[in-house]
Amino acid sequence: MTAFSLEPEQLARCADLRALAADRLRPLAEKGEPGRVNRPLVAELGRLGLLRRLFTSGALDLCLMRESLAYACTEAETALALQGLGAHPVHAHGTEAQRARWLPRVSDGDAVAAFALSEPGAGSDAAALELRAEPDGPGRWRLTGEKCWISNAPEADLYTVFARTTPNAGARGVTAFLLPADRPGLTGTPLDMLSPHPIGTLALDAVPVTADDVLGTPDRGFGVAMGTLNLFRPSVGAFAVGMAQAALDATLTHTARREAFGGKLRDLQTVAHQVAEMALRTEAARLMVYAAATAYDSGAPGVPGRAAMAKLLATETAQYVVDAAVQLHGARALRRGHLLEHLYREVRAPRIYEGASEVQRALIAKELYARTAEQEPSS
């Protein structure tokens, strides 16, 4: 298999997953309350074995799952992705005791996980975070500060929390902690956001943690965060591609049926060219996502730059495609409950979270210049 084609078995699995999402997950999603954790939906993802695959599959399989779910049920896609994002640090860096306690529950859909990195003053600049981990004896700290824009907060059962253990050390002084939601001093507030999935703030008032709660090594938590994002950034692109494909397919159906100016909408050259451009960009984004995921799985060099390119192109493309689809559908696409109205609200956030588009451009440029410097002959 190459980065530019899928095996028949993979294509069949994607088709089965789209059907499964439409038949079994979409009804549960529709019963959920926007902005709240949909625990029946998470539990069904567990019963179907999809959450377990988060910890047994590579980056490409993660992308195929997210793209397929996003096509038919964005709420299911997001619920799956947030479980992976919140619990992947436990899978990759946790102790045997930490993994044994939490990963089975996350895989079964019994425990909801969250990734708590962003802060009110440290969103895109993650190395500038200020949540303090103040020493409280040997191997003990107390966490004090605030996290903001945290998906699944404040309803999650466990949080991967990043805190500053060494002041004024930038990225080198951050530690990752595994924090159960019932820890004293931890509270949270939901936020009313444009996108329908749950997002909130966390307030930490001298929350006690010990060396048993550390994920990885003290002062090396920034690497835990970046390693997780390098895996999940291409799959954010896959989420975007799934939404773009859903918008494109809806547009193909609509323009083939809609009567306008004595014929079908598709007969108008401007419409046909617009649809062609939507398809072109969607396929280009899909190929870049698959290439980045395959590079991650194979251990190829330049993964951070490839992941950034994939997320950037795919999320910007999805915004363009969904917007164009709304335009070609007209006012009907703006009615509550229409697929495109839903996608229009969903598609905006991925250009910001897990690194805004501007951050992705900075990462790409940094890697390009570093590569150029390595290739230059020494004077």
Taking residues 329-355, report their average pLDDT: 93
- Which CATH code fits 113-218? 2.40.110.10
**Of the listed ranges 35-49, 188-202, 364-378, the one predicted with least confidence:** 364-378
Residue 124: predicted pLDDT: 66
Do 260 and 333 form a contact (C-beta atoms < 8 A)? no
Taking residues 60-81, report their average pLDDT: 97
Taking residues 146-162, report their average pLDDT: 97
Residue 162 has pLDDT above 90, yes or no: yes
The share of the chain scoring above pLDDT 70, in percent, equals: 98
**Token code pair at residue 84:** 């992976």
Question: What is the DSSP track for 79-141?
Answer: HHHHHHHHHHHHHHH--HHHHHHHHHHHHHTSS-EEEE--BTTBSS-GGG---EEEE-STTEE
Which residues have CB under 8 Å from 301's CB, separation 6+?
none
- Give, as one character, the DSSP assignment of residue 220: B
**Sequence spans of domains, the chain:** 8-108, 113-218, 223-375
- Give the separation between CA 209 and CA 219, rounded to whole angstroms: 15
- Give the separation between CA 20 and CA 37, rounded to whole angstroms: 21
Residue 353: predicted pLDDT: 86
Residue 1: predicted pLDDT: 37
Residue 377: predicted pLDDT: 72
Which residues have CB under 8 Å from 354's CB, separation 6+?
85, 229, 232, 233, 236, 311
Residue 262: predicted pLDDT: 85
pLDDT band at 379 (very low <50, low <70, confident <90, very high): low
> pLDDT per residue over 105-150, tens digit each?
999 999 999 999 999 987 767 678 899 999 999 999 999 999 999 9
Question: What does the mean pLDDT of the chain come to?
Answer: 93
**Token code pair at residue 375:** 């290739």
Do 1 and 7 form a contact (C-beta atoms < 8 A)? yes
pLDDT band at 4 (very low <50, low <70, confident <90, very high): low
Strands (E), 248-378: 259-260, 263-264
- Has 354 been annotated as catalytic? yes
Residue 2 has pLDDT above 50, yes or no: no
**Token code pair at residue 64:** 């195929």
| Strand (E) or helix (H) holding 147 | strand 140-151
Do 53 and 65 form a contact (C-beta atoms < 8 A)? yes
Residue 197: predicted pLDDT: 85
Residue type, 123: G
Could you confirm whether domain 223-375 is CATH 1.20.140.10?
yes
Residue 92 has pLDDT above 90, yes or no: yes
Residue from 213, 208, 223, 212 nearest 135 by CA: 208
- Give the separation between CA 121 and CA 210, rounded to whole angstroms: 26
What is the model's pTM? 0.92
CATH topology of domain 8-108: Butyryl-Coa Dehydrogenase, subunit A; domain 1 (1.10.540)
Residue 371: predicted pLDDT: 86
- Give the separation between CA 314 and CA 326, rounded to whole angstroms: 18
The share of the chain scoring above pLDDT 90, in percent, equals: 84
Residue type, 13: R
Residue 378 has pLDDT above 70, yes or no: no
CATH topology agreement for domains 113-218 and 223-375:
no
**Token code pair at residue 50:** 């999809």
Which residues have CB under 8 Å from 234's CB, separation 6+?
59, 63, 289, 292, 293, 296, 306, 307, 310, 311
- Give the separation between CA 245 and CA 318, rounded to whole angstroms: 8
- Give the separation between CA 213 and CA 139, rounded to whole angstroms: 10
Residue 300 CA from chain centroid, whole number: 22
- Give the separation between CA 109 and CA 51, rounded to whole angstroms: 7
Taking residues 240-267, report their average pLDDT: 94
Element counts in the chain: helices (H) and strands (E):
12, 10
Taking residues 355-369, report their average pLDDT: 92
Task: Choose, from 67, 316, 346, 354, the residue flagged as catalytic.
Answer: 354
Which residues have CB under 8 Å from 157's CB, separation 6+?
105, 111, 112, 113, 180, 181
Length of the chain: 379
